[in-house]
Structure 1
Amino acid sequence: MAILAFFLVHWYASLFTQSFFQHRYAAHKMFTMSRLWERVFFVFTYLCQGSSFLSPRAYALLHRMHHAYSDTERDPHSPHYSSNAFLMMWKTRAIYHDVLYGRSAVAERFRHGDYPEWTTLDTFGNKWYSRVGWGIFYILFYVQFATAWWQYLLLPIHFSMGAVHGAIVNWSGHKYGYQNFDNHDKSRNSLFFDFLTGGELFQNNHHKLPSRVNFGVKWWELDPIYPVIWTLDKLTVIRLRPDSLPRPAPAA
């Protein structure tokens, strides 16, 4: 029971920080927050993602590239230019490191707008000793609480949690499901209620309306992270931008 609880907490905490802080805030600036709250969520993101921590700055630039070149050869993670999800993940990893360390000339085009930067934490979170340290923590937790050998098979997911989430969203969200809009790419909505990836599998909706904070468009498309964002706005922790608020969707 402890192992299952730990896995689920890590899965959804990492998922939330990637969707809320790195995707909707860093990449798309759907809302604003104070410097203090930005630092709080920066640290929270590092703690939740652990060994798979992604720099919010590099994530933002990489994601803006994805929108600009969606499902073309220049897309950093289109499933239509990789034979399997693992090769797509490896390709994305290489491009991410080029962006992170300033080796990507293409990424420089997408520095418009701002994004959260904290050089010290960014650098530390991407060091090998940070990733190995988190990996040792996960292993020791399993040694202490695992009750069956098969539970150790979950460890590789812990080690690369953020990459696993990204692979699911980009592989499934650009191959399987239905389309509400013709976006001139292959984006799809894979689930009616996206409990698995926190609304991120409404890719077709998101590529049509990239500034819209609620990824669900139809009344039956439920984005579970949107109510959390709505609540944080009401508590004045964040401030939603007017152009991010849900409004009637354009015709398909």
Structure 2
Amino acid sequence: MSEHRSGALRLRGSSISYFTGKMENYFRLKGIPYQLESMEFPGEVERNKKVLGVSQMPVVRLTDGRWMTDTTKMIQWFEAQYPENPVVPDDPALALVCYFLEDWADEWWWRPAMHYRWFYEEGARFASGHLAREVAGGLHLPLFVKRLMLRRRQRNGYTSGDGIGPGAVSGVEADVAALLASLERIFEKRPFLLGDYPTLADIGFSGPFFRHFALDPIPLQLLRHTAPKTLEWVMRLWNSSLASIQGSLVDEVPEDIRELLRHMARGYLPYLNANIDAVRDG
């Protein structure tokens, strides 16, 4: 539904962006018309800071001219505006699971997704070329220079510069392999994480999967060979709409979802606690 439509929202981001893809999956599921537009750097940075206080990807321009950012907060706002067929289940236990899984997908799987994109030459070549052409038009430099700048920026900011050095690679990739194994067991039994139709949990996990793991060369090969049912889920979610919201959700939190929560507790919860301690200690 990203084609031009009168009165459509403007979703400004990138066609290979983690969080842009998450918002697109949400808008498509809810039947909210939107127009995907590529951000242009560095020209939009100051505008974003002026109207939002921060410049990050994506941003949404509402039809009344207001601007929004932060996918979690935007989805909460749109759910209030479009309350039919909510993405958060009525059952409080399943709702809590959705919030946990969305947060985990947003904040933990971001680094492995960036690792696979920028650590390996195949991914870096693909992503740097795409982004140099799509969003770096405001930099009047040769293409090869923009590609080098993007590689340096992304690696310094999100992979080696964010703790994923050579000694961490095997652990990061083992973490992804464990996630894929868990998801395969889920999608052997049902089409979406919590049942017959998508919830916020699926929307959250579309972030790392739709525009990273199922797009970048190395993780896409992993999905094809080790997690084909998860790869099918990525496309099933993208092809979902309001008409897809049929059937039922699980009656209680099943063991396979509890397995995901235990995985989250092993790595992500200590990470959150360490962040809290760091903020407290200044």
TM norm. shorter chain > 0.5: no
Say which structure is richer in helix: 2
Question: TM-score w.r.t. structure 2 length?
Answer: 0.27
Which structure is larger by alpha-carbon Rg, 1 or 2?
A: 2
Question: TM-score w.r.t. structure 1 length?
Answer: 0.29
